[in-house]
Structures are given as C-alpha cells and as structure tokens.
Chains A and B, each alone.
Chain A
C-alpha cells in the first residue's frame, strides 16, 4: 500500500542538514519544502510546488526537474564518497519492449513513467509496485520518423498530462489513471505527432509538435489544464519566414547559400511557411519572473533540399522566446539559417545566470547544439553572449549535400541530439551528451508529399566503428571544455547533476554511470542489460534518496531495446 505522506518533517530536516554539510548554494532553497509540502495532500501538485521545484529534494516534478530545466538535483545523500554503494532498489518492467526515452516524474513517492506507444504507469517510487497502468488507444494513422517515443508526463493538481503519437493531448486522473479529457492537437495524417513531455504553468499545458521531416507547420500551443480547451498558438514559421538572408551561421561559418537563386525562387513560389517544418519537440523552459517561454525550434522541411524554401526559414533551428501569457513572439536567435543538414535546435534550453562579455552576471539561456557548440544567450533579447569550443569533431561544415552524397560531421543526429543537459551551478559547468557519427548527405528534390516523410534526399550513416560518444563538461562562463569522458558509442539520453557532486548518464551498451562532477572520474557503473538512453532522475522517499532511469534502448541510434525502469539507492 502506498503511504499517504512520504515527506515527514524529520526527513526534510535531515535533508537540509545533509545539504548544508555539503555547502551547496541550493541547500537553503531545499528548506522551502517545509512550507510547500506539509499540506494535507502531498500528491496534489500546486503551482507553488512547480515554482519551487529547483530546491525540492524530495520530488522530481518536471521532466528537467524545474522550470529552468537545470537538471540539478539538490539532495546530497548520494555523493562522491558513497556512490560506490549504490545498488538497485527495484526494477519495474513495462509492457512495451521498445525505445524508452521517458523521464520519470515523481510526486510524493509516486512515480509516473511513459513508454513507447503511449502507455503510462504510476509506480510506488520506493518499491516499484504498480499503482495503475493506462494504455492510450492509438488511432491507426500515426506519422513519426524516429521511433514510437514518448519522453514523459507533466503533472498539475490531480492530473497527469501526456502527448500521444496520434497527436493528441490527454489528461489522466493521477490517483486512478482514468482518462479525464483528451484533445486532438493536429492531424497525424499530415505528419504531426507528439513525443515531448509537456509543461504546465499557471493552469496552462504547453506542448509543441514533432514532424520536421513531414512538412508540418510547427507550433507551441497552450491548453487549459482543466478542460483541454486551446488557449493560444504560436506558429514557429511566421508568414514572413524569409529573414535577413544570413550568409553565415551564428558562429560565423559560411553557409554557402546562393542568395540570388533563392530570391528568384521566392518571387516564383512565394513564402514557404505553410510546410516549412520547425517542430518544437522538446520541453520549453519557463521564466516565470520574466513572463517568458524559451523554446528551441527544429529543422526546416525538407531537411536536405532547399530548392523549395527560399530565405532564412525563420524560426527553424532557433532559440525563440514568447510571452508566457499570450504566446506572442518576443525574440529569437537562429543558429543555422537555411539549414541543409538537419541541424535542429533540439536539446532543451536551460535558464542560467552567466557572465556577459563584460563579466557582469546576467539572466541567460543555454542550448547545446547539434552543431557541437554550446550557446549562451542573453535572456533579455536572445542575443548570443558566447559559444563554446566545439565539443565534437566538426568536419567539412557546411559542405552542401549532393546527389552522390557529401560526408560531414556532425551528422544529422548531432553533436548533441535531443538529450537534455545538466547544470552544476556551483561549478559553473554544463554536462552534455555528445555524438560523433559522421553521415553522408544525399540531395534529391521531391515535391511536398502531403504529410509523408519528406527529407529531400537521404542520410547514410558512416560505419559504426567510426562512431563514438562523450560526456563533455563545459564551463558556461567561458565556453572552455573542462573535461570529457569518452564512450565507445554515441551518447543519447540526458544527464543529471546532483548536489552530491555527481553526474549520472547512460550508454547504448547498457552501462549507467556516475562520474565526479568536478573531474569526470568514473565512480560507479551498472550494467542495465539494454541501452540506457533516457534522462536519469533523483528523488527522496522516507528519507532515502533514489536515482532512477529507464533502460529501453533507442530506436534512433538502434541501441538494444529493453523495458526496464530501474531505481537505485545506497546499501548500508
């Protein structure tokens, strides 16, 4: 049986003491749990809880832990000195053996996880016991390019929200798993699907769309959390998507554009915004104080062939900020204008405080790019403060795709793919999962296919023995690489940093690792038996800290599939 409350005052005080012992700046914030959680019903998620998630050492309330998306967990019970004693506490097997990209969300000792094909489970986070199981009945027509993935739920009050492969948003009763409402977001026959975890703020569920390979028109939509009613839509491809005819990317590299030819095409076919792509397929960051939503927008469609999309293709491959209340455009910065290499902006953006060019700390936004750069922006106007050293080899950028195929690195998976990064604010480091996987980019022009896969050519991956991965720690105050841990395969899934001085990440070969956040020294590893290609989380129940992760492999990188959710805790 699930106990009613898992966060007694003594636990909270113990945690606070532990945190103080480690001297992390977040320790003080963890005390706010006292005021937040000691209510009659701890599973009822209030806006205040969502706001204070950054300092919440018990729950894991957002896919990326908090609205800033720092993935920094503020409990230090599991730390560099004892992590070698980390052992599985339980293992839960979901009913679907297909890639798991889910982030477990934990509310007062209850864990919500999703699977491929849109199942949702509620589990007792201390024992792994199943509380309920919901299986979404998918309509026959679905369109998705890269695996039947789902990245997790959002929680608010007594509701659990999930986007579905058939482009619906559904709300479940968090106690029973019963469907409360569902709404059709877009038409899956036209290439729309949902794989991202939504985010809830001020009673609104925010969700974008996948489908950059299908000629969709990307968007972020806000729905009423109680009713599912659409409140507003921000289209990521404005009716004037042409922009400024930028000839260089955000770092100054020549994009080899033929502007004269593009202008001629524009005059002939008009603005291509209606099927220009620009998906938003990762959870946006929320700046509640600044009243802004920061999202990253994916690739233009078709990704390889530019012959039918003249202009910069705004706001594809961009960081975009919109107004929290209305969804109106605020600012953007485009990383790769007029892309021809599928260089989505996709790893979730993170709100940080960072020094500007003059050394003055300013509200900033960080994004780890498929390009292999980590970009730091001013939150105020999206402008770029700096970009990092390249964290992967950049070979032959930006050589144009040809019918015979042009080899380039990074390949279309990045760089940094969809993997969320983690931040250690005390160390000023960001931890990114990097991919080295060169591809040949083949060009072949085809007309808009009405909702079918539309690549404008083909990607061929270099042989596997040329691939590798790395967990890379970058100082976001300078852009310098501090350390890296090389892995034999490309990394995809996400990182978690903790106040215990640890960074957790998984590998396609089944290894789930903890390294020292300051040095990268590998301190602990566990073989999960299937690819660990999902973002790790941490939470605390009855005074005991857990680390949990899904091990289900990856359709995108074809790592061994499995069906496990594994929670770890310290043995005595």
Chain B
C-alpha cells in the first residue's frame, strides 16, 4: 500500500463512521499495465484543493490507473462529465459513501476546479484484453441501444457525456448494473435503457468498450 492509499484509508476510516466501506477488489497486475512514465501536469489548484488530490489518487491511481477495479479512470475524462458527477455526489443525486463524504464541504467552484484538473491529466493506458466481436453481436447491441448517439462514434464522449473507450471493464460492468438496478439514479435514462439489456449483454458491452 503506498502512502497515498494509507492516507486515504485513514481518512476514510475517519469519515465512514458506522458504514461498511467497500472499495472493491484490488486490480491484478495482469489486468492492467501502468502507462509509460509521462509528465503529469502540475496541479493548477489552490493549496487547499491540492491537498485533497492525494486522497483522490488513492483510489483513482497516482498515474491514472485506478487502484480498485470498481473505481473509474478519471484522468483525462471530460471536464463537464466530472463536474456533473462531483456535483451529483455533493447534492446526493449519485450515491457513494466515500465520494459523498469527499465532496460534501466543497463549493461549486471547488468542484469545477477539480474537474478541470483531472480532465487535463492524460488518459492512462490500461491495455485490457482485446475482444473479438463474434458475428458482430456487440455492435448490434450498441446499434439497438443507439449508444453512439450520445457517447460518440468512437465512444470517446464529450462535454457531459463520459468517455467509455478504454474505461475499466470492471467499473463499466458495475456502473451499468447499478443503473439497471436503480442503485445509480443520476441518469435515469441510462437506467431505463439498460433495463432492455440482459446481464450477459451488459458484460459483453463492457468488455468490448474496455478494450477500445
């Protein structure tokens, strides 16, 4: 456990009083390979926010590769999407016991700055195993769900639409399932859409997108 993770664990244990904290399974070395060393921009943040960043990195990864399978890649994600998610964690529209606590005392401007900061960092390479779309089954599912209409031709997203290409497969599965089970309710349209897909289809889509 690196020092940021230790620090975050200590911090979380302080805030998550009475709550069972689940950070998911650590990601195995086989599943991910950290990207080659790249210069990461220095934070353009106030000292107060800069102090928070290590806490973020404890889960989301110092080099952008998350330390837990169900933590999403946030480095290089779109600023608008990150801001809306942080906003929703703050106002409770998106529920996550850790994230709700992390942002609860931050201002709207703080959230904007954090979103801009993480959006400016480069998207990491995680090299998830390639997926052969036998008989174009996944492509057909993506067409029927009109997924590209929002997430873009190459699933790179834009603005408040998240990039899905190369996102952690495990996170994609868990968040799509959470939409389906109405555990994640901050985009009801996704919940309704994913109701029309089976668990197996969700998993196949996640693997396909994760490998892009």
Contacts and interface: CB of A to CB of B under 8 A. Distances in A.
Contacts, number: 103
Interface in B16-71: none
Sort A-B residue pairs by CB-CB distance and give the 3 closest, nearest first: A142-B159, A446-B188, A140-B79
Nearest to A456: B192
Nearest to A453: B189
A335 to B, nearest CB: 24
Contact of B145 (A147, A457, A460): A460
Given A143-B159, A452-B187, 10 more contacts: A117-B158, A142-B80, A189-B84, A213-B189, A446-B185, A454-B188, A461-B145, A464-B143, A556-B149, A561-B153
Contacts of A142: 80, 158-160
B108 to A, nearest CB: 10
Looking at chain B's contact residues, is the secondary structure mostly helix, strand, loop, or mixed? helix
Nearest to B142: A558
A148 B152 CA distance: 9
Looking at chain A's contact residues, is the secondary structure mostly helix, strand, loop, or mixed? loop
A530 to B, nearest CB: 11
B189 A458 contact: yes
10 contacts: A140-B80, A140-B159, A142-B80, A147-B149, A189-B84, A449-B186, A458-B192, A458-B193, A463-B143, A561-B153
Interface residues of A, number: 43
A558 B83 contact: no
A446 B192 contact: yes
Contacts of B195: 403, 442, 444, 458
- Chain B: interface residue count, which band? 20 to 34
A461 B143 contact: yes
Interface in B155-170: 158-160
Contact of B187 (A144, A453, A457, A459): A453
Contacts of B143: 461, 463-464, 558
B196 interface: yes
A449 B187 contact: yes
Given A449-B188, A455-B192, A148 B145 contact: no
Q: Which of the listed residues B116, B149, B189 has the most CB atoms from chain A within 10 Å of its own CB?
A: B189
Contacts of B184: none
B146 to A, nearest CB: 6
B146 A461 contact: yes
Interface string A117-141: 1000000000000000000001111
Contacts of B192: 442, 444, 446, 455-458
Interface string B133-148: 0000000100111101
